[in-house]
Amino acid sequence: MDVDQPSTSTSGANQGGPPAIAADATINGPSFYYKSSRLGTEMLQSLNLLRIDGVLCDVNLLNSSRSISAHRVVLAACSNYFRAMFSCNLSETRKENIEMPGMDWLTFQSLINFAYTGELSITGASVQQLLPAACLLQMTEVQDACCAFLTRQMDPSNCLGIRAFADTHACRELVRSADKYALDKFQEVMASEEFAQLALPQLLEIIASEELNVKSEEQVFTAAMQWVKHEVQQRKHLLYQVLSHVRLPFCSPKFIVSTVSEDPLVKQDPGCRDLVDEAKNYLLLPLERSKMQGPRYRARKPLKYGEVLYAVGGWCSGDAIASVEMLDPSKQMPQWRPVEPMQKRRCGVGVAVLDGLLYAVGGHDGQSYLNSIERFDPVTNKWSDDVAPTSTCRTSVGVGVLDGYLFAVGGQDGVSCLNVVERYDAYRNEWSRVASMSTRRLGVSVAVLNGCLYAVGGSDGHSPLNTVEKFDPRTNKWYTVRSMHTRRKHLGSAVYGGELYAVGGRDDMTELSSAERYDPAADDWVPVVAMNQRRS
């Protein structure tokens, strides 16, 4: 029996094939924009596999009697040096084999691997070859990474050498960082071997700076004389030129008379004796000071006058607040005084100092949880919000600084208590995740001891914790340590004398006045004297 089939509106091209949307169908709604988060990474991985297998490679790079096969387009995309070589009609544009002298094989191999993987291992030994090679090949990201590494490795014993190395390779930001570090840490830098070996122009640039951070001008005189006497026969004729940049009028009268005037080298140099007389006149004839002009008669403007305390944000009268106050304990009558408020109200905010700047991380503004960050510069008394946000909104977050990075630890996002830990690289203005804690913690206190970041107590969202764990950046792992005797959330912690103190907080019932101390060698907590008042 024949049965009539219902007619359809699909075109003949689809008959017998997969179903298609009817031609007269209407699809409403907004357009959808898709951007792949995987394409870039997966494409690089595929290109690297092609390189390893020697597929579609169109150039061989020769170095130290060895060769690496590669793709011109990848090299040109990563290096302005290769881009010019392959696209500017040079002789190498069509060559299959290209000599690459001037760098060692391991360094060259590392840079080509970076072009395909975006990964690079930098050490104290390798950076001295990597940075010059990256400069030669104009691989700016590698240059920046090397400079960031050297910035983190900077200390009073090597900052002047790093500065000279950076200057040789025209790394201006690193030069500025090293200059700032040397001026800021001058009291320690002046004792280093690198300081004794400085060339005269570099020495004069340092001791002439308005921003030289010293407690007294007497330290500058001492440093100048140390430099001259390090190679006294070769340098004694430079003494007047050096002391001309020391602001002797700001030394004490006793120091001028008993130390400067009595130094044998000063006594032998007529110009230096004139400088001493100038200083004496300034000190003994105050009415004549207005006639004395020039840099030697101006006090310096040091970078740091001492440590101060900041109280940042919080909760008051039923709402989050943005106000900030500062206390200078060095004053004869210390008082809290207001400074520039934050741009957002923040309670439960995490606060830490990195590179002389105060960071306020996350918190709650009274209505929503925040992932934004603000940064305060005490020199300008200004907050800026140009810091990258954390990947997760969080309040009651623990914040600490370790190895030149800012860490945001735990907290809560309004839905759950967090064990997520993020690390901020100020040089790149980027947050990245590191290993998560084994326990979720809000109201956690964070401290740094013996190169590790400690997460102390807090709450798991249900009850206060007495557990403690530490993060080792060398292994990117958290390790459990001995628990405290008392459960504590919203506590304070600090390191003193090589031991970790946990103070106050709140347990299941009430605020606490008790405190305890952790000895990392014994892996044990012991009670210490309680505070006079309960607090969290």
pLDDT tens track for 184-221: 999 899 999 999 999 999 999 999 999 999 888 999 99
Q: Are residues 128 and 64 in the same domain?
A: yes
Is the pLDDT assigned to residue 267 strictly greater than 80?
A: yes
Residue 51 tokens, joined: 């390189």
**Is 67 domain-assigned?**
yes
Is the pLDDT assigned to residue 15 strictly greater than 70?
A: no
**Is 514 domain-assigned?**
yes
Confidence of residue 304 (pLDDT cuts 50, 70, 90): low
**Is 236 domain-assigned?**
yes
Q: Are residues 145 and 245 in the same domain?
A: no
Q: Are residues 321 and 348 in the same domain?
A: yes
Nearest Cα to 437, choosing from 402, 487, 398?
Answer: 398
Nearest Cα to 311, choosing from 333, 322, 326, 321?
Answer: 326
DSSP one-letter code for 509: S
**Is 247 domain-assigned?**
yes
pLDDT at position 296 is 87
Is the pLDDT assigned to residue 269 strictly greater than 90?
A: yes
Average pLDDT over every residue of 2-17: 48
What whole-number distance in Å separates Cα of residue 183 and Cα of residue 207? 9
Q: Are residues 272 and 313 in the same domain?
A: no
Q: Are residues 251 and 330 in the same domain?
A: no
Confidence of residue 10 (pLDDT cuts 50, 70, 90): very low
The rounded percent of the chain whose pLDDT value lies above 70 is 96
Q: Are residues 127 and 75 in the same domain?
A: yes
Is the pLDDT assigned to residue 4 strictly greater than 50?
A: no
Q: Are residues 327 and 406 in the same domain?
A: yes
DSSP one-letter code for 237: G
Average pLDDT over every residue of 392-409: 94
Average pLDDT over every residue of 133-158: 94
Nearest Cα to 403, choosing from 152, 185, 178?
Answer: 152
The range of the structural domain enclosing residue 249 comes to: 208-297
Confidence of residue 8 (pLDDT cuts 50, 70, 90): very low
Domain count, the chain: 4
Contacting residues for 115 by C-beta, under 8 A, at least 6 apart: 70, 74, 75, 77, 78, 79, 139
Q: Are residues 222 and 310 in the same domain?
A: no
Out of 265, 297, 329, a domain closes at: 297
Contact 464, 491 (CB under 8 A): no
Q: Are residues 147 and 247 in the same domain?
A: no
Q: Please report, for the domain that includes residue 293, its CATH number.
A: 1.25.40.420
Confidence of residue 330 (pLDDT cuts 50, 70, 90): confident
Full-model pTM? 0.58
Q: Are residues 277 and 317 in the same domain?
A: no
Confidence of residue 14 (pLDDT cuts 50, 70, 90): low
Q: Tell me the longest C-alpha to C-alpha distance in the chain.
A: 131
pLDDT at position 5 is 47
**Is 225 domain-assigned?**
yes
What whole-number distance in Å separates Cα of residue 240 and Cα of residue 217? 17
Least confident range of 40-44, 158-162, 364-368, 414-418: 40-44
Q: Please report, for the domain that includes residue 440, its CATH number.
A: 2.40.10.500
Q: Are residues 64 and 139 in the same domain?
A: yes
Pairing of strands 319-327, 524-528: unpaired
Is the pLDDT assigned to residue 6 strictly greater than 50?
A: no
Q: Are residues 401 and 460 in the same domain?
A: no
**Is 191 domain-assigned?**
no
**Is 179 domain-assigned?**
no
Confidence of residue 18 (pLDDT cuts 50, 70, 90): low
Nearest Cα to 216, choosing from 158, 189, 255, 266?
Answer: 255
Is the pLDDT assigned to residue 11 strictly greater than 50?
A: no
Return contacts of 324-333, CB within 8 angstroms, 24+ apart: 324/376, 330/305, 330/306
What pLDDT, in 10s, does the model give residues 471-520? 999 999 999 999 999 999 999 999 988 999 999 999 999 999 999 999 99
pLDDT at position 150 is 96
Confidence of residue 16 (pLDDT cuts 50, 70, 90): low
Out of 424, 447, 472, a domain closes at: 424
Out of 297, 323, 356, a domain closes at: 297
pLDDT at position 253 is 87
What whole-number distance in Å separates Cα of residue 177 and Cα of residue 224? 23
What pLDDT, in 10s, does the model give residues 411-429? 999 999 999 999 998 878 8
Is the pLDDT assigned to residue 127 strictly greater than 90?
A: yes
**Is 1 domain-assigned?**
no
What whole-number distance in Å separates Cα of residue 336 and Cα of residue 349? 20
